[in-house]
Chains A and B, each alone.
Chain A
Amino acid sequence: MFDKLESALRYQQEALNLRAERQKVLANNIANADTPNFKARDFDFRAELDRVMQQGRSAGEGGLSLSRTSSRHIAAEGPRVSSVDDLLYRVPDQPSLDGNTVDMNRERAAFADNSVRYQADVTFVSRRIQGMKKAMQPE
């Protein structure tokens, strides 16, 4: 029963995770708006969500890893904290002299867009949970 509950919420959960991740990337772009040679980054949300839904989150760098005290221990890795596989670079439309590619207008717009979508996702999850609660109520 619980895996059914989990799978009912999984899509929204992964979407929220990715939205939070994107929020972080965009916040970093805004934070580095004046750093010379900084390249603005982002990822393709739709592609990442598709990938996460199909293959699950990739294990790799940045996850919880097992510390091995003997060479005969089996290596193991926990789930990766960051679920994004490849961060892409933005193509600047007005390159600046110091090599920075952050376009503040674009970043702020993307940030606002991402925040609203995050809120929408939160609402969807809540409604979903309410619906399931209702279905489980004894009459």
Chain B
Amino acid sequence: MSMFSVFEISGSALTANSQRMNVTASNLANADSVAGPDGKPYYARQVMFQALGQSGGSPGGVRVDRVVEDTTTPLRQEYRPGHPLADAQGYVSLPNVDPVNEMVDMISASRSYQANVEVMNTAKTLMTKTLTIGEG
């Protein structure tokens, strides 16, 4: 029954998008963290999606390939001479999280999530219909 794999495909997209949402939440939560657990400043993270294929070349959904840290964007520098973590010039390094980007990413993730839930609901309706073939 090939319709069942619609659940797998859309389910994988739900997982991937919720992980993306988690990463966004982590970025936003840490937008003002001065230091991470290792004492170094927090770098914004991003998920990388990867399309999956099943055996026989049929489509198989999506998964999170890896979570990458954005180390190319420079950290935000703030002049706070009195801060314990300030450097010799009196600057404190703050995360390179861009709240606007994160909000856009969050909205995009939640829209994708919704779309996939709708796909699953439709597939479910169709399958229940299929089970009633020949009745009545």
Give me the interface of A with B, judged by CB distance under 8 Å: 16-17, 20-21, 23-28, 30-36, 38, 41, 61-63, 80-82, 87, 104, 108, 111-112, 115, 118-119, 122, 125-126, 129-130
A24 lies within 8 A of B5 (CB): yes
Closest A residue by C-beta to B50: A35
Contact A115 to B126, CB < 8 A, known contacts A36-B49, A62-B57: yes
Contact A111 to B135, CB < 8 A, known contacts A23-B126, A25-B59: no
B102 CB, min distance to chain A CBs, angstroms: 15
Closest A residue by C-beta to B135: A126
B73 within 8 A of A: no
Having A24-B59, A27-B9, one finds 14 other A-B pairs with CB under 8 Å, namely: A17-B2, A23-B3, A24-B6, A25-B59, A30-B10, A32-B13, A33-B115, A34-B17, A34-B20, A35-B49, A35-B62, A38-B51, A81-B2, A129-B133
B19 CB, min distance to chain A CBs, angstroms: 12
User: Which secondary structure characterizes the binding site on chain A?
Assistant: helix
Closest B residue by C-beta to A84: B58
B100 CB, min distance to chain A CBs, angstroms: 18
CB contacts under 8 Å to A, within B5-57, are 5-6, 9-10, 12-13, 16-17, 20, 48-51, 55-57
Contact A34 to B49, CB < 8 A, known contacts A27-B9, A119-B129: yes
Give me the interface of B with A, judged by CB distance under 8 Å: 2-3, 5-6, 9-10, 12-13, 16-17, 20, 48-51, 55-62, 108-109, 112, 115-116, 119, 122-123, 125-126, 129-130, 132-136
B122 lies within 8 A of A111 (CB): yes
**What would 9 A/B residue contacts be, using CB atoms closer than 8 Å?**
A24-B2, A24-B5, A24-B9, A25-B59, A30-B13, A34-B20, A62-B56, A80-B56, A81-B56
- Neighbour of B119 across the interface among A16, A27, A34, A119, CB < 8 A: A27
**B136 contact set on A, CB distance < 8 A:** 126, 130
**A41 contact set on B, CB distance < 8 A:** 59
